[in-house]
Amino acid sequence: MIRGCRGTFSVVLILILFLSNVIGCAGNDQKLAKETSGLASNITYTGYGANGIVSGSLHILEMDGDKIILDAGLFYGNDGANIPLLTKSHVENVSAVIVSHAHLDHIGRLSQLLRLGYSGPIYCTEPTKDILPIMLRMEAKYGDFGSEQFYYSALSKAKNDKTGKMTAIHLYNCEYGSKIYPKNKKTIFSTRKALEKQSFYLCNSCADIDVGQIMDQVKVLPIATRCEITENLNIEFLNTPHIPGSVMVLVNSNNSNQTVLYTGDFGSGNSRFLPRQAQVETADYAIIEGTYGIPDGNLSLSNEEERLMFQKYIGECVSNNKRVIIPAFVLDRSQQVLGEISRGMESGYIPRTSVKIFSPSTSEINKLYANTFTQPEYQPYFSTEYFLKGPFNPIFFMEKNEVEQIEYGEIALASSGMADTVYSKDFIKQWISDPQTVFIFVGYQDPETIGGIITKSGVSGIIIDENQYVVAAEIKKFNCFSGHGSYIQISQFLSNIEGLKKVVLVHSDKPVAEKLIQSYQQDLPEIKFVLPASGELIVFN
């Protein structure tokens, strides 16, 4: 239940003291309220993801006797191998789950929380709510939920195997699975990731049941508004320019007015689509991300200059009749790339040619960007430029499904961003040995993924699915689409927060995080920085 929300405003001391004892929303003058507060809150932090690793963000905060969860993300690669498994005890007495944004490494374990018994509200922004069903449906089909029992029609399986088709498999008693005759019904135990190798795909209706269970618990909160979520706690969402709807979360005690700031994924400000980074004047404690580590000291091009280089490079490839393939994450990265291709065509840097989208999920999100997010009520979450010019022009074809459909001189965007699955992986296998094909990577590449391997300099070959491929295609990488803030951006942000005592560093690989803490401690000696292990209890005091 959302206990109360009201826009932030300044009031005199007597009004603040009065409002702090009623259900509703408090004023935003934290410094003044702290001078009149009572005893400090007992605040503890425990992480079960993104501790010494980048992915799997899930943070449990206990404050004034209330227990809340900040994000519930999945793990990438082997990140989750040594993380304690969640149990029912982790969701017991949880008052609220708060989602900072809709990337899967921040929402991918929401289903698991529900399976463990969580039945309370899941708070997020309006754009995040719009994006959630698309991302959660992807997770329902391909996520790792451990071994589960599925059932299918043996007759359909036999027919489909003869023609090389995939067979629908069911998890719930859905409208299609319920029609299978008992004698024809077969069951198997499998992980969802392993279904494709057995020529199965999860039934769309079953995936929708998974998604619907989560969406039934989602509650939208407005931006820049303090809202009570329990009798003891209120929260405020503040913009951070990472993806549409992404926010930092200020968690504030109604009793002592102590505040914990959770940055989520701190935005880089690189996107043309998003608003400026919100500032935080005061906070006692913070949970911050450290994806990028300390600066390497190398001079680099500005974001604007590199985006222009991106446009010109694609234009040269198309002019030279090269096949251009861009593996890109479905959420925000693909849309930003389409925006730059649109600008390149308008300016004449890129010749007019076919641009093809290989991902139904990307196509769905494109529609959100073009139709939903351009509505007036979404203005607080986007830049002025976004509303004046729009995200991208209608330059592309939607939902292409065959790898053979990309010709020389054409451009294709395909999931996944690290080329480890679905279309991008197929394209790599088909054309990595073709010198007239160009693969352009536009995001972080985990070193163990296909994208991570082939973007290393000097790589001449790669093994994919036990087959050896010669790397003869042109490989290029651009960093101008990055969504995470730099060390300099985050340290400057922290230095401007009055009263900050302790910071928990998350969302960073351990070797990177250890160097980060040394650097932060040197630059901001008045703040204590800690790097907890997964499951380690940290007391904020």
pLDDT digits (tens, 9 = 90+) for 357-412: 999 899 999 999 999 999 999 999 999 999 999 999 988 875 455 556 899 999 99
Output the pLDDT for position 77.
76
Query: Phi and psi at residue 185, in whole multiples of 5°?
Result: -90, 125
Tell whether the model's pLDDT for residue 9 goes beyond 70: no
3-state secondary structure of 131: helix
Bridge partners (DSSP) of residue 31 are: none
- Between the CA of residue 334 and those of 28, 90, 327, 366, 453, what are the distances in Å? 37, 36, 9, 8, 21
pLDDT digits (tens, 9 = 90+) for 461-494: 999 999 999 999 999 999 999 899 999 999 999 9
Query: Are the beta carbons of 127 and 244 closer than 8 angstroms?
Result: yes
Lowest mean pLDDT among 28-42, 254-268, 505-519: 28-42
3-state secondary structure 344-358: HHHHCCCCCCCEEEE
Can you read off the two tokens belonging to residue 474?
């042109």
pTM of the model: 0.89
Helices 360-367 and 126-142 meet at what angle, rounded to 10?
Answer: 170
Helices 126-142 and 204-215 meet at what angle, rounded to 10?
Answer: 140
Question: Measured in whole angstroms, how far is the alpha carbon of residue 342 from the centre of its chain?
Answer: 25
Query: Which residue reads 């979520």 in tokens?
Result: 229
pLDDT digits (tens, 9 = 90+) for 309-362: 999 999 999 999 999 999 999 999 999 999 999 999 999 999 999 999 999 899
Average pLDDT along the chain: 90
pLDDT (mean) for 528-532: 97
Q: Is 229 exposed, middle or buried (0-12, 13-18, 19+ CB in 10 A)?
A: buried
pLDDT (mean) for 303-310: 94
